[in-house]
Amino acid sequence: MSTIQAQPPLTRRQQHRAWRRRKMWQYKSIYLMIVPVFLYFAIFTFYPLGLGLVQSFQRVPLIGKATYIGVTNYQQVLKDPIFIKSMTNSMLVGTTSLLINLAVALVLAISVNEVRNRFSKSLIQTATFLPYLFSWTVVGGMWLQILAHNGMMNNFLALVGLDRLPFFTSPVWGRPVILFTNAWKQAGYFVVLMLASVVSIDPTIYEAARIDGASRIKQISYIIIPQVWPTIKTLLVLGATGVLRNFDQVLIMNRPATKDSIRTLLLYIYEEGITKRRIGTATAAASVVMVITLVITVVVRRMARYDQDASY
């Protein structure tokens, strides 16, 4: 007489695996729709990152097999005075641009909010945001023409009896031109987000402040800025990830006289990899930039989180 042996009960891990398989089969159509996204990131993001990291430890000739050379590329990059100068320029230009854009956006948002005519308000908002929609190829070319030696700006200065300014022939003017044109183009994006926060402030708060005799400056200091501070923190975190990513503007607007004063890290990588064909040092520099960007992002996020915790 045969006996039927009872199967041992499933362990907790086996039960969890069985439950997970059932859920995956239940939502198989959703997982299938996610597959193309994973493939896209795998092919166009993770694979290039991995390949670049591998090449940063190699000498990569244009023709032939790459050879492993350890951390030599990193040593060359970190000892290169041009790289150090480029990193300094990137930090100064990126940080200053972010702060200027935030300040300009706050002033414009407050000013636009004061406009009562709806048509005029919409017109100002459109004019403010419009430059952000254009590429740096268009914006850079336009300002190159305006600020040229015989451009509109210098012709106007000569017309009123002033000397022409060497915007692109003196290293002194390199950074100011980059900062000004960056604010002209990018501040409009910040204005839209800042204005949304300013508009959402309860009007009764302004009324109570006016009854208490608060001036407009005090209303801005004690009402508007605290109310829009969460938006400012968000923009700081978003802007921190792009502090070192200024490339197309500098590539288009740099000139021999101003190149050393505005060369950024991404332009340095471009010159090493494309112009000089030094793939190894270019990928090593790119890896350093990625690490610096991650550190900046983590620090800014923690500062914002600490400020949020302290406010409660």
Query: Where along the chain do its domains lie?
Result: 72-311
Residues 251 and 275: their CA atoms lie apart, in Å, by 13
pLDDT value at residue 215? 85
Closest CA to 291 of 302, 279, 299: 299
User: Residue 258, Cα to own-chain centre: how many angstroms?
Assistant: 23
Residues 296 and 243: their CA atoms lie apart, in Å, by 9
pLDDT value at residue 1? 46
* Cα radius of gyration (the chain): 27
Residues 5 and 27: their CA atoms lie apart, in Å, by 35
Tell how strand 58-59 and strand 67-68 pair up.
antiparallel
Q: Which residues in 7-23 are b (16+ Cβ under 10 Å) and which e?
A: eeeeeeeeeeeeeeeee
Note if the pTM is more than 0.85: no
Closest CA to 235 of 195, 190, 168, 191: 190
Query: 284, 73 in Cβ contact below 8 A?
Result: yes
Question: What are the helix (H) ranges across the chain?
Answer: 12-26, 28-41, 47-55, 72-79, 81-114, 118-133, 136-146, 152-159, 174-199, 203-211, 216-219, 225-240, 248-253, 259-262, 265-270, 279-311
DSSP 312: -
159: helix, strand or coil: helix
Tokens linked to 265: 């890290």
pLDDT lower than 50: segments of the chain? 1
What secondary structure, in 3-state letters, does 226-255 show? HHHHHHHHHHHHHHHCCCCCCCHHHHHHCC
pLDDT value at residue 113? 87
72-311: CATH architecture: Orthogonal Bundle (1.10)
Q: Is 166 left (phi over 0), alpha (psi -120 to 50) or beta?
A: beta
Residues 222 and 33: their CA atoms lie apart, in Å, by 49
What secondary structure, in 3-state letters, does 56-77 show? CCEECCCCCCCEECCCHHHHHH
